[in-house]
Amino acid sequence: MEVLDSNRITAGPMMSRFESEVASLHDCRFGLMSNSGTSALQIALAALKETHDWADGDEVLVPAVTFVATSNVVLYNNLVPVFVDVEPDFYDIDPASIERRITPRTRAIMPVHVGGLPCDMDPILDIARRHGLQIVEDSAETMFARYKRRTVGSFGNVGCFSTYAAHIITTGVGGVSTTNDPELLVLMKSIMNHGRDSIYIRIDDDAGRTGDELFEVANRRFSFVRLGHSFRCTEMEAALGIAQLEERDEHWARRRRIAGRYRDALGSLEGRLQLPEVRPESDHAFMFYPLVLSDPADSRPALIQFLEERGIETRYLLPLINQPVYRRMFGNLDAEYPVAARLNEKAFYIGCHPEMTDGDADYVIECLQTYFADRT
């Protein structure tokens, strides 16, 4: 209501506040709100490409298990995604598989903190340092979580969050990029605003200027200096974000409680269901609760159908390399990525949303237990 009453709909005080709160909660100096997590990732790569003079066709390492957007943004920037297999127990990019994918054209790594669990960042940072690679963290599914006392979004050159529906916090649609690099910030701002001259991005960027300085802004404010995008959002999404941040601790506690309930009850299904592990010295934000069928005899389609008929929706655990569009572009890569191939056949996730009641979680548990009890 404050936004509507203020009559200021384009990026303004709400957005600045939301950006700086998200940045400081993730140990960063700057935040930049855009209209989606995908946009945040796309402008991060575009800014790095321009800064470091990458050529079209240069390579970016992405995990073989992630939401398609991670890898799509590489392609949108005329770069080539090179896949890296993931950890069999945590489902994040496997540091032990990264180096064999590095070529003279590799420019960056995009670690994805899958489903709320931070990647094993120490070895990733070490590899990046040794090979001179940039890092863009895809933290669309993880906020606030720490790895060895550092918060996601602060490890790379840029961290990217999504605030789409059902993410850790939501603004309807939205994304935030975090960085400690003022030059990258300016570039990303320009790229998400049609490639505008960064002297004037928001409508009060001329505030307080007079004389020649004011003319300079007026003269350049309709100047477009690179090819950019229209990735802005409004004060309304920012206001929703501020309200969501106020509830973050409560929501995270609920997510942990539901995950704890699942773990306590489903632990007895060992040998049939692999439950998610929390990496040592890490938090888990539990955007969702991943499960993997461990017994080769168990069929994922049969279980999914069983749950669906009982009103329980699931999603497959972020299949990428077997997506029809990726198969068309890259062929069948299953043999090269055995962990991803196994997860693409056996993994799925169930809800862990803070609005779920204990009763909702117990119902999911009961259905899973019934399914496995009937098929011993």
Ligand X SMILES: Cc1ncc(COP(=O)(O)O)c(C=O)c1O
The residues binding ligand X (CB under 6 A) are 36-38, 66-67, 69-70, 112, 138, 140-141, 162, 164, 175
Q: Pairing mode, if any, of strands 175-179 and 30-34?
A: antiparallel
Q: Write out the E strands in the chain.
A: 30-34, 59-63, 80-84, 106-109, 134-138, 146-147, 150-151, 158-162, 175-179, 273-274, 289-293, 315-316, 347-350
CA distance 31 to 117: 21
d(CA 178, CA 196): 20
- CA dist 291 → 2, 288, 351 (Å): 42, 10, 11
CB of 250 to ligand X, least distance (A): 23
Between 152 and 266, name the residue whose CB sits nearer to ligand X. Answer: 152
Report, in Å, the least distance between residue 67 CB and ligand X. 4
CB of 287 to ligand X, least distance (A): 8
Give 301: exposed, middle or buried? Use CB within 10 Å, 0-12, 13-18, 19+: exposed
Find the shortest distance in angstroms from Cβ 362 to ligand X: 27
Least distance between ligand X and beta carbon 171 (Å):
10
Nearest residue to ligand X, using CB? 37
Output 273 or 287, the one with its CB closest to ligand X. 287
Beta carbon nearer to ligand X, 18 or 67: 67
For residue 196, what are its two tokens?
Answer: 């505008």
How far apart are CB 216 and ligand X at their closest, in Å? 36
Place of tokens 């779920």: 356
User: By C-beta, is 67 or 348 nearer to ligand X?
Assistant: 67
Comparing C-alpha atoms, which of 207, 242, 201 is closest to residue 223?
201
CB of 40 to ligand X, least distance (A): 8
Specify the residue, 112 or 273, whose C-beta has the smaller distance to ligand X.
112
**Cβ nearer to ligand X, comparing 32 with 140:** 140
Give the 3-state secondary structure percentages of the chain, helix then strand then coil, rounded to 5. Answer: 45, 15, 40
Nearer to ligand X, 153 or 175 (CB): 175
DSSP line for 85-151: -B-TTT-SB-HHHHGGG--TTEEEE--B-GGG----HHHHHHHHHHHT-EEEEE-TT--S-EETTEE
CA distance linking residue 85 with residue 317, whole number of Å = 14
Is the CB of 95 or the CB of 175 nearer to ligand X? 175
Which of 342, 339, 345, 347 minimizes the C-alpha distance to 84?
339
- Provide the pairing of β-strand 59-63 with 80-84: parallel
Q: Which is nearer to ligand X, 76 or 164 (CB)?
A: 164
CB of 121 to ligand X, least distance (A): 16
